[in-house]
Amino acid sequence: MKLDLIAIAPSDFDVDVALAYATDANLTGRPIYRNGECWLHREAADKLAAAIALARPLGLRLRLFDALRPVEAQWALWNARPDPEFLADPRRGSPHSRGIAVDLTLLRGGRELDMGTPFDAFTPLSHHGRTDISPEAQSNRLLLMGLMTAAGWDFYRNEWWHYQLFEPRRYPLVSDADLPRPMM
């Protein structure tokens, strides 16, 4: 299958790539990605570049926790914690497994802004619009949402860190074997 994938590298995109699933600091407790390269569909890469450009004049950078997630990685996460509130059932397919979703946060001066919960905190406190987190965290979440939606991204209401392209099912699912260099 011919995929229109772009490597998201700090040398080409002014972004901090910190793929959580390439480390053991994730919900499985072990690395899922052997190769921590970051990939996105070309359309998502263009929207990421737009978000980076919007953040820059504010003195902000983006930190990516995840982008393209091969179908096999989605199964690894699902098998560790089959929670449809926070993970797409791999039988339906995740926007991540289509290369059109990012999990991210904002950095100022190299430090993550307070978002009220860590990335991948599978708790209702991770939902957008929470008023029972600090006003600073509420403001930071709204700032991230404003930057991402202004750049053309859709958001997932249960995860402050997750943004995806609209109409995800029009993009094909990507397996590890489909990648230029396998991740797993």
Residues recognised as catalytic: 159
Report the C-alpha gap between 174 and 73 in whole angstroms: 10
Q: Specify whether the CB–CB gap between 22 and 69 falls below 8 A.
A: no
**Total length of the chain:** 184
Nearest-10 crossing angle of helices 42-55, 135-150: 130
For the chain, the distance separating the N- and C-terminal CA atoms, rounded to the nearest angstrom, is 18
Three-state SS at 113: coil
177 token code pair? 């074997």
